[in-house]
Structure 1
Amino acid sequence: MRPQDNLYLAINSKWLKQAKIPADGVSTGTFNELSTKVNTELSQDMAAFANGKKPLPNIPNFAKAVDFYKQALDMDQRNRDGAQPIKKDLAELENIKDFADFNTNAAKLFNEMMPLPIGWEVEPDLKNARKNALYFGSAGTILSDATSYQDPNSKKLLDIYQKQSINLLKLAGVPEDEATTYAENAIKFDSKIVQNTKSAEDSAEVTSNYHPMSVKDFEAKFGNFDMAGFLKGAIGKEPDQIIVTDPDFLNNVNGLLNKDNFAEIKGWMIVEFINSVAGDLSQQFIDASAPFAQAETGQKELPSTAKQAFAITNSEYNDLIGEYYGETYFGPAAKKDVTKMVEQILKIYEQRLQKNKWLSKSTRQKAIAKLKAMKVKVGYPGDVSDFYDDIKVVPASQGGSLYANQKAMDIKDTKEMVSELDEPVDRDDWGITGDEVNAFYDSSLNDINIPAAILQAPFYSKKQSEATNLGGIGTVVGHEISHAFDNNGAKFDKYGSLHNWWTKKDHAAFNKRVNAEIKLFDGIKYGGKKVNGKLTVSENIADQGGLSVAIAAAKKDHVSLRELFKNYARIWRIKASPEWTQYLLANDVHSPDALRANVQVQCQPDFYKVFKVKKTDGMWLSPKKRVLIW
């Protein structure tokens, strides 16, 4: 295969033929391989800490993470405990006798981390990014997205989920007839939630999630549910305003939360609970909770106990483990080197904005001001939160369990979240930890996070050429910068607040280009389905901007564009199960990785020059269809 016909396959076909998806995974590829490498290193270190073969790092509270890991690893104890750790909480849900009882106890259930058919988050106010606000949204659905219910396979998946839920409840000691009723009611209530919830495509547009209301108007929407009482009990006060993320759900909330639906609400809460806690219990529970996820993703086997133990520990102690990874496997010297590289890319991005021909001077200056205000976070924070100071890992010998210790942390996390309401936003907070193979832009903080774990080959290495690094981490850094100017990020000012800083003419010109980006990807056939251009547009804009600035950096330093393009195609290699591919197409805001490689380079004039692409070649795209925004 020639790069002129299919760059992605020309670079990755040999790998694709040889690559095998792990039995306990759903895909393999550059990101998966690095994640496996990082998790293996950390798992081995945690095991060495646990058995005393390695001294603990000088990180506050790290010993608690090790104690928690040992508890997660002790499957013998978890098997002996069986369902005992959840008995009290399950009984509390089963003992809710009617809707009035549910109304009275809803705040208590929230504070105890029990499932509720309403969602709450405390996040920066999008129109005042200096202060945190309270967001209200719909409950989650069983299937991944509202559109998934239109798929012919949805009935089969829901049947698997229902059967799985019955089996889990029986393991917990619930009689089969009662378990069956709970599961049937959960499916019925879920079908009502689906009718009043947004799709992933709708949610991808940031302004569709911002509908502020006075608390008085908000509470008036609830004729059956005592929202005023709930807010006082769960939040501690009635805030001045509530930001609604899903207006349709709120407008129809009385049709969901009422005494006629009580049996379905109760069944839904019980089923949500048992499915969410099974992973913290015995191997029998873990096995019984697997069928639905495996059917949805194509996973063939469950991860080993050791892998699961590390994953659970990392989910709860991610700040500590991410800090350890950054200090141990990355270090301050590399952090300084990469920070300098990011700043150089930011400078080139600024130069490109200065030369931009379709923006007016006014808008261009504000875009540059936003770029200059952008904060760069590379590697790892360098310190850890005091969140863990008063956490206690209670051992089994003192009546503790993995479930109980995890629940205690989750309760504390929720209390901390609620306490941040109306408080100033912590602008030093990281949206990602050092051991994650990923990168992140936060529009409310106007910062980019490039964690340590992604800063290795093929993305970045001092042993790689500059061109190869630019095709890897250079495009990633440029991608995150470009999120500040994608269809969502462009709505936020340099302070991170939702505020229009565009002239009317410039905004119209930008939207024309956004629509062209949507059209570029929309309807492309992949994995038996079609790409949703509206769902993926923000990431496609970021990919385009990231590749463009990396190319500009390579041309400035006179390094090989051929090597840049080759590594750009290499970082997107992936092999996934058909089920996982279908899942991503329905839910992921990113386009399929093969298209992220091919379609973006098809829009770059330098690709045609470097590889001498002709009209008769497979990679040729008519100049009229090519899209370049940033």
Structure 2
Amino acid sequence: MKNLCSRPWVAAATLALASCAGTKPAPVATAPATAAPVAATTPDPAGVGLDMADIDRSVNPCDDFYQFSGGNWLRNNPVPSYASSWGPRNLLGNRTQDLLRKILEDAAANTNAAPGSNAQKVGDFYASAMDTLAIEKAGLTPLKPELARLAAVRDKAALRAAIVRLQELQTGVFFRGGVQVDEKNTSQYAVAFDQGGLTLPDRDFYFKDDARTQKVKAAYQSYMTEIFGLLGDSPAVAQRNAAAVERIESRLAKASRTRVELRDPQSNYNKMTVAAAQKRYPALDPKNLLADMKLSKAQEIIVGQPAFFDELNAVLKTEPLADLKTYMRWHLVRSVASALPTAYADAAFRFNQVQTGAKQQASRWKRIQAATDQTLGEAFGQLYVDQAFSPEAKAKALEMVTNIKASMAEHIRTNTWMTDPTKAEALKKLNALRVKIGYPDVWKDYSDLKITRESYLKNVLAARQWNAKRRTAKFGGPIDRNEWGMTPPTINAYYNPPLNEIVFPAGYLQPPFFDPKADDAINYGAIGGVMGHEITHAFDDQGRQYDSEGNLRDWWTPADAAEFTKRANVVGKQYDAFTPLDSVHVNGKLTMGENLADFAGLTVVYGALQKQLQQRYGDSPRPKYDGFTPEQRFFLSWAQLRRTNIRPEALRQQIATDPHSPGQYRTIGPMMNMPQFQAAFGCKEGDKMIRPAAERAVIW
């Protein structure tokens, strides 16, 4: 996962191309040169990390490696009723959640924890959230001060103050704004405004007319009407209010850039003086808005999408004040529905259900565990790391990253289409890449955040305000290079372009993604594949636009940039052709960055594995486990971690909104272009898993 969100308001939410001279192994029982279905007979010892029962040996690996590698698992692991998709990451998540639950319950039971300590804050937060009787009894009482503040708005100054307040409370009204690293001068922070303000998952949902979109829109309208009714509006008023919100959001959506357009970092960097912004957007009133945000020292703003803010300015100027307040009231309540009485949370789930196909909500403790991680991530994370992450695991992970970086450097140096000046800049960037493993070197200080057992909602609002103030306080100060965008228990990773760093939380560094007991092929195919994926995000179609210091600067010669784009477009066309559902195609432009990272990362890591095997075994025969060579186990490891069952509703939404391709195409997409895969499994030209040489995508 690439994280272009050093921007604080973006939620953080994951690998190629070496030389094609991989050594072709002798034919083995699991991959006969004839590419017949694989037999299960083998005298080789059992290995660690692959489940042989998951492999569907009735499928030819050269025809459909996704089904071969995990077809039995896919048949035997349907999506649970509370989930929208299901895969190895979910299974690891369940194991991790069991430990996290114990940590939370122990903290909640410890009423004698030192006041202000992480244990006290985590324990009290969890206890308040699990006290459903108190939440039901309190009703809207904890939210009434915010509702009253909004109801009292009578003029533009009060409206502006209300917008700032709701920005602090992370309600998502109108736009996203705050302090971020300046992407063209990464030695300083800047103030940035970006499009936002929508409830539906994507701008296109407001305009498309297909049956599925209409179903989601109907659920959206029902959701709003129900919430306004719970707030005390009569049925007729609730319907009018829902219509007002939809009208305002539709205006914002029409002016919003598409997800593909948002992938262009240059077009999303539009720095203007505050005076110029004030002149262009007088109804938004940036000068006084920044003053209310405690950012009056800012002389410039980076406006992500100027045309969106033209429309937002028009909305603030032309929409009735009562309707603007209704829109803001909706987003305030919607943003905290999970901390309100059951009726509100259930309404939110029913809306989500239509989008994802989930049959029931996850257990409350699971939802609150996730909320604790989101709200008190590093306080909670410290308690987790103490029990779950060893120094040995961190050392092994760092060793693997070093080896993979070395492989990437070799691929850059031996690249046949890139000129020497561009290679020098690429190597400079690779050498400057910072690596974070496990958990932060410097933890967040929560001492100014007050958490009690009095009210879950009050705790949520207090934490949001605390976080907003902490972000704002960064302006004018030095860049905090110790900060993490994910919490230690997170089962994910990211690349951050402005800081030129890759980050691997402790939650990811455990089986099946990382297992010290497994052979090198398994670990390189699993967590190594993720490492290669994140490293090569620095050189995908977006990441390549940032230099070694993270600045958004074109360091490519025009010829090299044109050649890269030409090669990347081959990848885009390949993914455009994938059709997971009738009439639903993968969007090759939206998924370009993740696909390129899969392509490049997988081959770079394959090269790193070959070096590791050479160091370990020299010219001696390399051992097989479970009847598979190291090369075969490498590809199986990659594939088995991407097997996913997903509900049709969730798959359609993924295609529309997610920059990651579905798991089956993350498996077969890169391998279809890799001679290394062809050699490992004895595939021949004409097999379904092998693209003709003239059609292959080759980047590095």
Is TM (by shorter chain) over 0.5?
yes
Alignment of 1:297-308 (within 5 A): 297-308=356-367
Q: CA offset at residue 383 of structure 1?
A: 4.0
Any conservation in 2 of the 1:72–1:313 contact (CA below 8 Å)?
no
Alignment match of 2:450 (pick from 380, 388, 392):
392
Change (3 A) 1:151 1:35: farther
Q: CA offset at residue 481 of structure 1?
A: 0.5
Structure 1 match to 2:324: 265
Output the CA distance in 2 between the equivalents of 1:383 and 1:36: 28
SS at match of 1:450: strand
Structure 2 match to 1:146: 203
Aligned-pair Cα RMSD in Å? 2.1
Change (3 A) 1:363 1:45: same
1:557-612 deviation digits (Å, cap 9, x = unpaired):
25611110111111101001111101110011111111010010111111111212
SS at match of 2:260: helix
Percent identical pairs in the alignment equals 31
Output the CA distance in 1 between the equivalents of 2:432 and 2:188: 18
Deviates more, 1:13-22 or 1:456-465: 456-465
Q: How many residues align?
A: 624
Deviates more, 1:210-219 or 1:11-20: 210-219
Q: RCO higher in 1 or 2 (8 Å CA, sep ≥ 6)?
A: 2
Any conservation in 1 of the 2:448–2:466 contact (CA below 8 Å)?
no
SS at match of 1:243: strand
Any conservation in 2 of the 1:72–1:312 contact (CA below 8 Å)?
no
Are 1:377 and 2:436 matched, yes or no? yes
Structure 2 match to 1:224: 283
Q: CA offset at residue 47 of structure 1?
A: 1.2
SS at match of 2:255: coil
Alignment match of 2:388 (pick from 321, 326, 329):
329
Structure 1 match to 2:631: 561
Change (3 A) 1:543 1:350: same
Structure 1 match to 2:528: 474
Q: CA offset at residue 375 of structure 1?
A: 0.9
Q: CA offset at residue 151 of structure 1?
A: 4.8
Q: CA offset at residue 99 of structure 1?
A: 5.3
Q: CA offset at residue 108 of structure 1?
A: 4.6
SS at match of 2:549: coil
Deviates more, 1:449-458 or 1:595-604: 449-458
Any conservation in 2 of the 1:98–1:259 contact (CA below 8 Å)?
no
SS at match of 1:207: coil
Output the CA distance in 2 between the equivalents of 1:119 and 1:99: 19
Q: What code does the residue aligned with 1:483 have?
A: H
Q: CA offset at residue 322 of structure 1?
A: 2.3
1:59-80 deviation digits (Å, cap 9, x = unpaired):
9523211111111111111111
SS at match of 2:316: coil
Structure 2 match to 1:37: 95
Structure 1 match to 2:686: 616
Structure 2 match to 1:205: 264
Q: CA offset at residue 139 of structure 1?
A: 2.4
SS at match of 2:526: helix
Q: CA offset at residue 105 of structure 1?
A: 4.5
Alignment match of 1:525 (pick from 579, 582, 604):
579
Are 1:317 and 2:376 matched, yes or no? yes
Deviates more, 1:194-203 or 1:56-65: 56-65
Alignment of 1:481-630 (within 5 A): 481-528=535-582, 529-556=584-611, 557-558=613-614, 560-630=630-700
SS at match of 1:614: coil
Structure 2 match to 1:20: 78
Deviates more, 1:154-163 or 1:39-48: 154-163
Consecutive unaligned residues in structure 2, runs of 5 or more: 1-58, 615-621, 623-629
Q: CA offset at residue 473 of structure 1?
A: 1.1
Are 1:5 and 2:5 matched, yes or no? no
Any conservation in 1 of the 2:525–2:637 contact (CA below 8 Å)?
yes
Alignment match of 2:507 (pick from 442, 453, 459):
453
1:126-178 deviation digits (Å, cap 9, x = unpaired):
10111111111222322211223315233332222222222223323344443
Change (3 A) 1:105 1:52: closer
Output the CA distance in 2 between the equivalents of 1:431 and 1:349: 25
Output the CA distance in 2 between the equivalents of 1:562 and 1:373: 33
Any conservation in 2 of the 1:323–1:381 contact (CA below 8 Å)?
no
Q: CA offset at residue 507 of structure 1?
A: 1.7
Q: What code does the residue aligned with 2:561 have?
A: H
Structure 1 match to 2:175: 118
Structure 2 match to 1:169: 228
Structure 2 match to 1:82: 139
Q: CA offset at residue 114 of structure 1?
A: 5.5
SS at match of 1:133: strand
SS at match of 1:90: helix
Any conservation in 2 of the 1:574–1:593 contact (CA below 8 Å)?
yes
Q: CA offset at residue 229 of structure 1?
A: 1.7
Are 1:191 and 2:245 matched, yes or no? no
Alignment match of 1:409 (pick from 448, 451, 463):
463
1:53-102 deviation digits (Å, cap 9, x = unpaired):
9x979995232111111111111111111222212222332333465652
1:14-44 deviation digits (Å, cap 9, x = unpaired):
0110112121111110122112221222012
SS at match of 2:409: helix
Change (3 A) 1:104 1:31: closer
Consecutive unaligned residues in structure 1, runs of 5 or more: none
Change (3 A) 1:408 1:26: same
Which has more helix, going by share of residues? 1
Output the CA distance in 2 between the equivalents of 1:30 and 1:178: 47
Q: What code does the residue aligned with 2:395 have?
A: K
SS at match of 1:449: strand
Any conservation in 1 of the 2:103–2:383 contact (CA below 8 Å)?
no
Any conservation in 2 of the 1:181–1:267 contact (CA below 8 Å)?
no
Output the CA distance in 2 between the equivalents of 1:290 and 1:366: 49
SS at match of 2:437: strand
Are 1:365 and 2:419 matched, yes or no? no
Structure 2 match to 1:156: 215
Q: What code does the residue aligned with 1:533 have?
A: G
Change (3 A) 1:449 1:366: same
